[in-house]
Amino acid sequence: MNVLYTTVGLIGVYLYVSFVSLLWDGLDRKLVARMQRRVGPPLLQPFYDFLKLASKESIIPRDSNKMFEVSPILALAASIALLAYTPIGFGPILATKGDVVVFIYLLALIAFIRVIGAVSSGSPYAQIGAQREVIMLASREAPMMLGLFVILWRLAKLDVEKPFSLETLYQHNIWEIGTPLTIVGSLVLLIVFIFWLASEIEVGYFNIPEAETEVAEGPMAEYSGRYLALFKLSSSLKEFASASLVVAIFFPWGLSQYLGISGMGAMLVDLIFHTIKVFTVLFISMSLFRAITGRLRVTQAVNLFWSRILPASIVGAILLAIDILGVIA
Amino acid sequence: MNALPWLIITPLFGAFSMPILGLLGRKVREYWAVIISGFTFAIAARIFYSIWKSNEILLYTLGDVTPIGKGVNFPIRIIWEVDLFGALLALTVTFVSFLAIVYSLGYMKDDSGLDKYYTLVLVLELGMLGIVITGDIFNFYVFLEIMSIASYVLVAFRNDTWEGIEAGIKYMFVGSLASSFILLGIALLYGQYGTLTMAYLAVKVAENPTLVSRVALAFLIGGLLFKSGAVPVHMWLSDAHPAAPSSISAMLSGLVIKVGGVYAIARIVFGVFNPGLHEYLKALGAPSIDVNTLGWAIIFFGCLTLIVGNAMAVIQTDMKRLFAFSSVGQIGYILLGIGIGVVAYGEKAGEIALTGAVYHIVNHAVIKALLFFVAGAVIHQVGTKNLNELSGLARRMPLTTLSFLIGAAAIIGLPPLNGFASKWLIYESSAMYNPILAVIAVVGTVFSLAAYTRVLFTFLGIESERVKTATEPEKTMLIPMLFLVVIIILMGLLPWQINERVMLPVAKMLEQLKGEYIMALIKFIGGV
């Protein structure tokens, strides 16, 4: 019975997130267009794009192998699995002790499957894109993991039942610790996470692997038709999941307790409120960032991560750790 | 009826009858090897099941019902003493050997001198089985030499290639030196204590832990670290594995370095120089052997091995050499687990580490056998193992590529596959014991990830000229590979059940908190 509820819940969340994440893509395009004094596409444009791609003929390159056709499906499967571990206004559907590792793993796995698909296509453009993707993957995950683990470790000290689960973010949050050092540390980590989010969804500075004008869409160079539609959908889901993580860490407050709703209604209200918060975070980290910054070179981006963002993450981690380790009384 | 002797008799009979049956023709010879190794696997499975069910140590005396001689009250005959750890290793050995023999049917078919080949493979299996079941330290040495000599010859089996001969000579010279260290250690122990039965030796060492016993321990550990390919003495391994036929590399890397190396280390440390016993003596103020130093020495070599092995794997251009260095790296994890098991003896971290080490022995045997089978299939079909010449195999050899993908993902330790659980246990225990060790272990895994990602690009990438005409290997080579893929996935889906029901009891029996290994012997000879 429990398995059944979980399955139904996951399907529901999947349908909802597919809808809102594609909706956000439309909103994002509209907003960026307005920032550049254009009218922009209609709000539902990503849905039309998706349907059109799905109905087109899929061209499979002569030099490709089986993984070329399998990886879009694997990528979508991994994204759907990721949704089961994503905090969406309430704890993840499959919340357990230590599920944060699964979350990070699935997030990296989606990128890695894209790489496998790109390498399998037999196109040199895709190969270059894939190499860039791996380089970016290796650089961006370290500061994020450090920040995430230190936050969850700090919260685990506040007496939670499932340590290192993303569910704990809804039981305690880092702002309620309240000492000046932790607040400064959390703000530093917030900046780290905003940068991480921008590179995870590859916009602005970090639009390096895809780089339309430079390496012709990079990993996606050879994809067309249905396969491209599946990849686009899975990136949208990943976008939403990554932004959900940032929202859950830094802005976990729900509306339901203030409105005095409980049960299913509370979950619904929290989910919608969470979606609004995700849109806000994505507006800053995606739309604004995309509109006002250009692409960096891959060496510059790697340099930025290892020499600026990782040290910032270390500083944030130390500030968060200081009062519990009792270094200063 | 006691099934234990049949574990030795069957491969021995198979090996000695091979030259005669081989006269009947090629097919008979091949079927005979498959039947014998399959039958040995069945016996090992039965022994493992009975020990697992009863959770008791199985003892057997050669030549009599009791090992006690006339007029003396201590064991003088050879005894075989099999606990769950030994039985688990026997099961792994017979399983991988069986698959390697099936694989050889297709893989070795263009070679000559195959009557000798199958004889040697069965002798190699026999030597390994002898090591895991024996309870007598000199008998252990004899089986170690049987195993070693068979593997020297098998490494140099293709004696028309320069690298086979070169690697064989290197392996033989340094391997003999290591064996003589082990023999010297055994001689010192015998000279000091006058017994060769391991469990009885443990009692004697505890009664009077002299300097000689410490020197002997150092000689034994030194020799066995060589046999397991730990870092300062791993150079033979990186030459022997690429030069040997791939079916033999699978056995060497999956089994020989574990049975002749880490199994023997664990057995000598926990069976003869038991840390619990010596810590108890220390608490009483009696003279004892400092097991912490021993544990830290093993941890030191483990950490060195896992960093150097995995880092060296990243820069290889030869596929089999890469896998060989990766084996060195994985031995590092096992040694790290055993080392933490010694220093944190009796604590939670020690038990988890030991469980992880035992689990990783089995997992790595299965995974590395698969990877070497894949390498063998590539060499057999394409004719090169140079990664720079190979590219885009996936289109022509999809099943082989799938096997490689699964094997590589499992050895890095990706969650739905079996390598994850064992590595997780080792990380967790090392983080509990000393976080620096966990960091070293994770760094090793990062190197291994980099190494295998490179090979992945080779398999997928753009098709090179060389592989345009490649095809899938024949069925006898494909079936063992796919079978191992299924095993890896199944073990990966039930990690904690396997851990709970098999690996934890194995580790507990190896750890022997109450001196079970010694008590089993005393009970057997009708003592206290």
Name the percent of chain B lying above pLDDT 70.
99
Query: What is the pLDDT averaged over residues B467-483?
Result: 86
Tell me which residue of B301, B204, B258 sits closest to B422, measured CA to CA: B258
What does the alpha-carbon distance between residue B237 and residue B227 come to, in Å, rounded to a whole number? 9
For B221-245, give the DSSP string. HHHHHHHHT-GGG-HHHHHHHHHS-
Q: Token pair of B181, please?
A: 């260290």
Residue-wise pLDDT for B154-176, tens only, equals 999 888 888 889 999 999 999 99
Interface residues on B facing A, Cβ-Cβ cutoff 8 A: 392, 394-395, 398, 401, 414-415, 453, 456-457, 460-463
Cα torsion through A234, A102, B414, A76, rounded to 10: -10
Q: Token pair of B106, please?
A: 């297709």
Which member of A63, A66, A105 has the closest CB to residue B415?
Answer: A105
Q: Token pair of A24, please?
A: 């956000």
Is the confidence at residue B528, as pLDDT, over 50? Answer: no
What does the alpha-carbon distance between residue A22 and residue B57 come to, in Å, rounded to a whole number? 63
What does the alpha-carbon distance between residue B349 and residue B340 come to, in Å, rounded to a whole number? 8
What does the alpha-carbon distance between residue B139 and residue B131 come to, in Å, rounded to a whole number? 8
pLDDT value at position B512? 80
ipTM of the complex as predicted: 0.84
pLDDT value at position B527? 60
State how far Cα B154 lies from the chain centre: 17
Inter-chain contact B394–A127, Cβ cutoff 8 Å?
Answer: no
Residue-wise pLDDT for B312-344, tens only, equals 998 988 889 999 999 999 999 999 999 999 988
What does the alpha-carbon distance between residue B66 and residue B62 come to, in Å, rounded to a whole number? 9
- The set of residues, in sequence order, having a beta carbon less than 8 Å from that of A57 and lying 6+ positions away, is A224, A225
Inter-chain contact B462–A124, Cβ cutoff 8 Å?
Answer: yes
A46-55, B105-114, B502-511, range with greatest mean pLDDT:
A46-55
Inter-chain contact B461–A134, Cβ cutoff 8 Å?
Answer: no
What 3-state DSSP class applies to B98?
Answer: helix
Sign of CA dihedral A250, A251, A257, A261: negative
Which member of A65, A109, A134 has the closest CB to residue B460?
Answer: A65
Is-contact B29 B118, C-beta < 8 A? Answer: yes
Q: Token pair of B370, please?
A: 């698969």
Inter-chain contact A63–B463, Cβ cutoff 8 Å?
Answer: yes
Is-contact A84 A92, C-beta < 8 A? Answer: yes
Tell me which residue of B390, B213, B225, B385 sits closest to B297, measured CA to CA: B225
Inter-chain contact A67–B461, Cβ cutoff 8 Å?
Answer: no
Is the confidence at residue A296, as pLDDT, over 50? Answer: yes
Is-contact B85 B506, C-beta < 8 A? Answer: yes
Backbone angles phi, psi at B136, to 5 degrees: -125, 130
Query: What is the pLDDT averaged over residues B123-144?
Result: 92
- The set of residues, in sequence order, having a beta carbon less than 8 Å from that of A122 and lying 6+ positions away, is A61, A62, A63, A64, A65, A68, A222, B392, B461, B462, B463
Name the percent of chain B lying above pLDDT 90.
41
Name the percent of chain A lying above pLDDT 70.
96
Q: In A, which residues are within 8 Å of B394 by CB distance?
A: 65-67, 120
What does the alpha-carbon distance between residue A248 and residue A278 come to, in Å, rounded to a whole number? 9
Which member of B414, B453, B460 has the closest CB to residue A67?
Answer: B460
What does the alpha-carbon distance between residue B266 and residue B361 come to, in Å, rounded to a whole number? 12
Query: What is the pLDDT averaged over residues B7-18?
Result: 91
Give the angle subtended at the CA of B276 by the CAs of B273 and B281, to the nearest 5°. Answer: 85
Q: Token pair of B217, please?
A: 């321990």
For B56-69, give the DSSP string. --EEEESSSS-SBP
Is-contact B22 B28, C-beta < 8 A? Answer: yes
What does the alpha-carbon distance between residue B325 and residue B331 come to, in Å, rounded to a whole number? 10
What does the alpha-carbon distance between residue B8 and residue B48 come to, in Å, rounded to a whole number? 15
What 3-state DSSP class applies to B134?
Answer: strand
In one-letter notation, the amino acid at residue B291 is V
Sign of CA dihedral B333, B337, B338, B342: positive
Is-contact A83 A92, C-beta < 8 A? Answer: no
